[in-house]
Amino acid sequence: MSVEPIIRVRNLVKRYGELVAVDAVSFEVAKGEIFGLLGPNGAGKTTIISILSCITSPTSGSASISGIDVVTDSLTARSRIGVVPQEIALYATLSARENLMFWGRMYGLRDRTLARRVDELLDVVQLSDRASNRIDTFSGGMKRRINIAAGLLHRPDVLFLDEPTVGIDPSTRRSILDLVKKLNTEGLTVLYTTHYLEEAEFLCDRVGIVDKGKMIAVGTRDELTESIGATGVIEVRADGLDDAVVDWLASLPEISQAARSDDGLTLNVVRGANLLPTVVDRLTSSGVDIHSVDVTVPNLESVFLHLTGKRLDEENDENNRRD
Amino acid sequence: MKALHIALKDLRMRLRDRNTLVMMLLLPVGMTAIIGFAFGGESGISTVEFLLVAPEEGGFLVDAAAGFLSQHELFDVERASEEEARRAVADGERSAAVMIPEGLVDSFLSGTPAEVRVLRDPASSIKAGIIQSMVEQVVSSVSAGSALGRGVFETLDKDEPLSDSEQLALWGWMFMWMRDAWTEPPVSLDTADADTVDFDVHAYFAPGFAVLFLLFTMLTSAKTIHEERESGTYGRLMAAPLSETSIIAGKMLGSYVLAALQILTLIALGSLFFGIEWGSHPGATVVMALVTAAGATSLAMLIAAAARTGRQTDNVGTAFILVMSLLGGSMWPIEQAPEAFQRFGRFTFNYWAHGGFKKLIFDDAGLAGITQEIAIISAMSAVFVVLAVLLLARRRA
């Protein structure tokens, strides 16, 4: 990276007793970039954001924002960042304007400067007409937008967005993603955590894949997909799959990775354009009931599968069950 | 400055919450009204009826004691047999019966133990308490007179034994002294102008319930520290450029202002609805109110800091406040409890807070008269705050 990074993380470790939540994570984010932290629930993304937001202290390692150490000079570092937590961190019985005025004051804004900035942001998130309404009267999407606006009041160098689209409908999700894109085109650096592959692919200039506290890969989408050497992905939705047939497919030299999920199978293909008939023949001869077969180009899902041997949504489900 | 904004935000949110307003004002006023109604709905007690069980030929001492107990217009005394007295008290016809034993004079002269018994109706604890306190006054005078008389006799007998007529004259003087002590006690409460003992039930219970519901309001307020953690706003505050000390200070300041508003409003409502006179030293009343608000704020913050969640704060805090209010006399007249029980009560915030207000109302104490209560509640508040901050800091670490 040629320019001075706005976020620099070096060998960051966070332990809770025996549990290692963040395990020697290092990465850098350049000014003006949208950097995504992609990983299943419980991978350690939120802990990384908490350390960078000065809410949690690291066990070891270092992190800086605009060259300011988040541990030794946390008050200054905090004034440079905007934080949008996963939860709707707003006061439900206060109005949108009252919330923004309060959070602005927490960042040292006063009087007319604050009032002007609040008006600007209400306009940016398209809620000027609802400024006087209480937050508990808002829809989920409107709350999300005010939640983001509260992180932008003091014009931070970098905005941390921690899974801002969890639990919202597709159209609201799209409007949030568009808002983040718009803010980025205006020059804002964004650190975005998500467990949705499509969000990371749509939004992020570069992605760091996090699993079990470790950063297992960092790069642009193309860099990451090229790194696994796959030329295609075959996704099969089927019933009646067993381990024997999956193992047989995984042993084919044209297939670099095979992973089962609840409703089917994903295969990373490294070469062999005519592999599809072989796969279908083998599955049908083994008594598998095939519902659909898709052939796609490699994506971040393929990268995650290649690196962990599991699909991302599969690991999310596992972690949710554990929680 | 940021702490002030946190306090103002909390205050605005609390005052918008109808449940808070109900707990702050409606419940304590309602409870005081109900208790007043339960005790007869009168603001003062004009008559205390009791039965006297005493030997017919009890002698001068019994006659003097009976005369003293019945001399005041407040008391309506009738003589009765022990059986009649027990039945009347058990049936609630009389608040109490005073039983004077046979041979009281002999015990007085010889110094051998005698027992005056007060049989009380538990359902009429206040009136029975008044009778008991009057009997205690008589018994202590008789005991003092007996000890004094025998001391005088021993001293005089050392040099030259007294003749019967001298002994009779001396005891006569002793009886006169005691009668005078009862009717015009050298050290006593000033009751010279009182036609009735002005025991105002509302005035007794209003400060008790005010303290009790002040604690509940503060618990709800302190609990917001957990609610903010659970909703993510605390984390967002921690990510803003301000210290955690400012956050805690802001939350405590908001709670304190709310507490002060509540207790001062309840004092005003007490005067308005129940005609309570909170003493003739308004400055002392305001100081007592502000110190009580500080004590309740810091105690609730300590409970919240010790709890792990908002729900735990509610459950543990409610139980703790109720037990403390029972021990400290916020819900009943602790003066009627055995001494050992009252000793426990002294360890509670409620005891001192209610005690301070009772001194203002019933003793017309000024600031000097409530320094002990102010000092103890202030010391408690300081300890509670330090412990709360330490617990909150430890939780974060």
Residue count of chain A: 323
Integer Cα distance of B332 and A38 in angstroms: 62
What pLDDT, in 10s, does the model give residues A198-224?
889 899 999 999 999 999 999 998 888
| Residue A242 and residue A161 share a domain | no
Domain range for A262: 229-322
Residue A1 lies in a domain: no
Residue A294 lies in a domain: yes
| Residue A200 and residue A247 share a domain | no
| Residues A141, A172 contacting (CB under 8 angstroms) | yes
What pLDDT, in 10s, does the model give residues A296-314?
888 888 888 878 877 777 6
Q: Does the distance separating the beta carbons of B235 and A107 come in below 8 Å?
A: no
| Residue A198 and residue A314 share a domain | no
Residue A277 lies in a domain: yes
From A109, which residue of chain B is nearest by alpha-carbon distance?
B2
Residue that finishes a domain, picked among A197, A219, A241: A219
Side-chain half-sphere exposure of B64, counting CA atoms within 13 A: 20
Q: What would the two tokens of residue A195 be?
A: 């467990």
User: Which residues on chain B are in Cβ contact (under 8 Å) with A106?
Assistant: 2, 5, 237, 240-242
Q: Does the distance separating the beta carbons of B5 and A107 come in below 8 Å?
A: no
Using pLDDT thresholds of 50, 70 and 90, give the confidence band for residue A258.
confident
Integer Cα distance of B156 and B83 in angstroms: 44
| Residue A129 and residue A254 share a domain | no
Q: Does the distance separating the beta carbons of B231 and A86 come in below 8 Å?
A: no
Give pLDDT, residue B21: 80
Residue A197 lies in a domain: yes
Min Cα separation A91/chain B (Å): 8
pLDDT: which is higher, A163 or B127: A163
Residue A64 lies in a domain: yes
| Residue A247 and residue A158 share a domain | no
Q: What would the two tokens of residue B303 be?
A: 């409970």
Give pLDDT, residue B183: 60
From B227, which residue of chain A is nearest by alpha-carbon distance?
A91
Give pLDDT, residue A24: 92
From A150, which residue of chain B is nearest by alpha-carbon distance?
B236
pLDDT: which is higher, A146 or B41: A146
| Residue A262 and residue A114 share a domain | no
Give pLDDT, residue B291: 96
Running DSSP on this structure, what letter comes out for residue B93?
S
Chain centroid to CA A162: 7
Residue that finishes a domain, picked among A219, A253, A268: A219
Identify the residue among B1, B5, B9, B21 best suited for mutation to test binding to A, counting A beta carbons within 10 A and taking the highest.
B9
Integer Cα distance of A137 and A135 in angstroms: 5
Min Cα separation A211/chain B (Å): 24
| DSSP β-ladder status, B48-53 and B96-99 | parallel
Q: Does the distance separating the beta carbons of B240 and A78 come in below 8 Å?
A: yes
User: Which residues on chain B are in Cβ contact (under 8 Å) with A107?
Assistant: 240-241
Query: Which residues have a Cβ under 8 Å from the Cβ of B82 and sit 6 or more positions away?
Result: B53, B99
| Residue A154 and residue A110 share a domain | yes
Residue A23 lies in a domain: yes
The average confidence (pLDDT) of chain A is: 88
A298 φψ region: left (φ > 0), alpha (ψ -120 to 50), beta (else): beta
Q: What would the two tokens of residue B126 be?
A: 């206040």
pLDDT above 90 (res A62) = yes
Give pLDDT, residue B195: 44
- What CATH number should be reported for the domain holding residue A39? 3.40.50.300
Residue A17 lies in a domain: yes
Min Cα separation A14/chain B (Å): 13
DSSP string computed for B303-370: HHHHSSSHHHHHHHHHHHHHHHHHHHTSSS-GGGS-HHHHHHHTTSHHHHHHHHHHHHHHS---TGGG
Residue that finishes a domain, picked among A219, A250, A282: A219
| Residue A235 and residue A215 share a domain | no
| Residue A183 and residue A254 share a domain | no
Identify the residue among B238, B243, B246 best suited for mutation to test binding to A, counting A beta carbons within 10 A and taking the highest.
B238
Buried b (16+ CB within 10 A) or exposed e, B261-297: bbbebbbebbeeebebebbebeebbbbbbbbbbbbbb
pTM for the full predicted model:
0.71
- What CATH number should be reported for the domain holding residue A239? 3.30.70.100
Choose among A76, A86, A90: nearest Cβ to B233.
Answer: A90
What is the mean pLDDT of the segment spanning A222-233?
80
Amino acid of residue B220: T
Give pLDDT, residue A106: 95
Residue A200 lies in a domain: yes
Give pLDDT, residue B382: 96
Domains along chain B?
2-40+198-396 (no CATH), 48-183 (3.40.1710)
Alpha helices in chain A (DSSP H): 45-52, 74-80, 96-106, 111-124, 140-150, 170-185, 197-203, 221-227, 243-250, 275-285, 300-308, 312-322
The total number of structural domains in chain A stands at 2
Choose among A89, A93, A103: nearest Cβ to B232.
Answer: A89
| Residue A179 and residue A91 share a domain | yes
What three-state secondary structure class fits A191? strand
User: Which residues on chain A are in Cβ contact (under 8 Å) with B16?
Assistant: 93
| Residue A182 and residue A269 share a domain | no
Integer Cα distance of B365 and B362 in angstroms: 8
What is the mean pLDDT of the segment spanning A163-192?
89
Instruction: Give the bridge partners for A266, in sequence order.
Output: A235, A259
Integer Cα distance of B10 and A323 in angstroms: 33
| DSSP β-ladder status, A158-162 and A81-84 | parallel
- What are the mean pLDDT values of chain B's consecutive 10-residue runs (397 residues total)? 93 86 78 69 58 73 70 73 84 81 73 79 70 74 72 71 73 69 52 48 85 91 90 92 91 94 89 85 94 95 92 91 88 77 87 92 88 95 93 74
| Residue A60 and residue A113 share a domain | yes
Tell me how crowded residue B218 is: count the other CB atoms within 10 A of its CB: 27
Count of A–B CB contacts within 8 Å?
Answer: 62
What is the mean pLDDT of the segment spanning A258-279?
81
| Residues B311, B300 contacting (CB under 8 angstroms) | no
Give pLDDT, residue B193: 39
Side-chain half-sphere exposure of A113, counting CA atoms within 13 A: 9
User: Which residues on chain A are in Cβ contact (under 8 Å) with B232?
Assistant: 85-89
Alpha helices in B72-163 (DSSP H): 82-90, 104-110, 125-159
